Amino acid sequence: MDRIRIVGGNKLNGVIPISGAKNAALPLMIASLLTDDTLTLENVPHLADVEQLIRILGNHGADISVNGRRERQGESYARTIHFTCRNIVDTTAPYELVSKMRASFWVIGPLLAREGKARVSLPGGCAIGTRPVDLFIEGLQALSANIEIDSGYVNATAPAGGLIGARYTFPKVSVGATHVLMMAATLANGTTVLGNAAREPEVVDLANCLNAMGAKITGQGTSTITIEGVRSLSGARHRVLPDRIETGTYAMAVAMTGGDVILEDTDMALLDTALEAIRRAGAEITETNSGIRVVRNGAGIKPVDIVTDPFPGFPTDLQAQFMGLMTMAKGTSHITETIFENRFMHVQELARLGAKISLSGQTAKIEGVGRLKGAPVMATDLRASVSLVIAGLAAEGETMVSRVYHLDRGFERLEEKLTRCGAHVERVSD
Ligand code: UD1
């Protein structure tokens, strides 16, 4: 199993190209099941989760071809992928495939909308809390789907004439359930109004792509999304938006190690709240023509309290990385996680590097230690594992991160991007 070896202590200096967002690419790929025409996606990151979803979509009958492997030689690895699903050959998403990645459960929306039925295994995914699917079920039932749960599978069927548009208000904000309900409603009879919808940029990206395919969606980016059902959708060409979590992760890495880095092909507006927190911690952040410049020279890291929240709040997917940064602050900070109930697995690993963190319910108290010392650590989930990498970059000596398959699910060419900025990071295969 691969490990990542880091020798910390170097400042980061240079340019890091930001990839297309994993969390946008996945629902966009799934949207290809809604049409018998070709959906072409540009700027798709090369990640284990994307490859896994390619297998899952292939199982449903999608014909997938990948080209444009390198947009800019040696730099980004954005790919253009064509998805054509003339016929859905199988409306079942089996446990063996869905259990590897939670987002693959989302195929339930398009399958039900287009074929009138779907049988989808209950998901697995990162071990960060219970992550139920009650909101998906309730929402699809609101569109008149009949749903039964049997032997670990969700069996969903639509009425004879197809799903029926309705008004549904989510009791809790859910990104995935918003994606699924929005996709399902595009082909429903009549109009659907989703209240308390997720406002994440990835939801907006999906809505824009669906509209390019002929859907009639308005209100994306606000809490109320209206979808007027249409008879069918066509193909389209769409560019996946930049990965705001990758952007924030590298910005925090620079804030932690010090240095001067340009994050290219990204957009400050995607992560205002997180950038503001990094600024308050002592880094200078400015907009450039193609992205964001992050600088920290000399000034120490200041403690900053944060609370995770749905967009536009501080993203839960950057919580672990920000905790890494706060371990080296001059003073005490508090981080409260409100989205997932078990998302502090990185705490004990950061402690191995010398961090002082105590937990009380959903809040972590971090007493800055000024310096960390390298150690062997274990990646526990996708975002937690990258927090260990950035902490390792700032720690003295060697940090060896094991179980890096978590990282490969979400960070494209991490070692290469960091090495180009002067970091000592290498992959070690046993
Ligand atoms: C997506 C992101 C993930 C991010 C999360 C929150 C993708 C592929 N993943 O995950 O990286 O951390 O948004 O920003 O885009 N919930 C229920 N019932 C449901 C569905 C969700 O109770 O039926 C709860 C979850 O357990 C969690 C909260 O709602 O506590 C938010 O989860 P949700 O927004 O659905 O996360 P995902 O879409 O799975």
The answer to whether 373 is annotated as binding is: no
* Residues 247, 320 within the same domain: yes
Nearest CA to ligand 1 atom 4: 317
* Residues 208, 250 within the same domain: no
Does residue 421 have an active-site annotation?
no
Pairing state of beta strands 236-239 and 424-428? unpaired
177 C-beta closer than 6 A to ligand 1:
yes
pLDDT tens digits, the chain, 430 residues: what are they? 789 999 999 999 999 999 999 999 999 999 999 999 999 999 999 998 999 999 999 999 999 998 755 444 444 467 899 999 999 999 999 999 888 888 999 999 999 999 999 999 998 544 545 568 999 999 999 999 999 998 889 999 999 999 999 999 999 999 999 999 999 999 999 999 999 999 999 999 999 999 999 999 999 999 999 999 999 999 999 999 999 999 999 999 999 999 999 999 999 999 999 999 999 999 999 999 989 999 999 879 999 999 999 999 999 999 999 999 999 999 999 999 999 887 898 999 999 999 999 999 999 999 999 899 999 999 888 888 899 999 999 999 999 999 888 888 889 999 999 999 999 999 998 7
The answer to whether 23 is annotated as binding is: yes
Ligand 1 binding pocket mutation candidate from 126, 135, 175 (most atoms within 8 A of CB): 175
How far apart CA 292 and CA 92 sit, in angstroms, is 43
Q: Which two tokens stand for residue 13?
A: 């200096």
* Residues 291, 320 within the same domain: yes
End of a domain among 182, 204, 239?
A: 239
CATH number at residue 43: 3.65.10.10
Q: Which domain holds residue 124?
A: 24-239
163 DSSP assignment? -
Residue 151: CB partners within 8 Å, gap ≥ 6?
none
* Residues 65, 167 within the same domain: yes
114: helix, strand or coil: helix
* Residues 187, 320 within the same domain: no
* Residues 10, 28 within the same domain: no
* Residues 308, 348 within the same domain: yes
- In angstroms, the Cα distances linking 155 to 38, 98, 116, 158, 179 are 28, 14, 11, 10, 19
381 C-beta closer than 6 A to ligand 1:
no
135: helix, strand or coil: helix
End of a domain among 239, 269, 285?
A: 239
Domain count, the chain: 2
The answer to whether 372 is annotated as binding is: no
* Residues 281, 375 within the same domain: yes
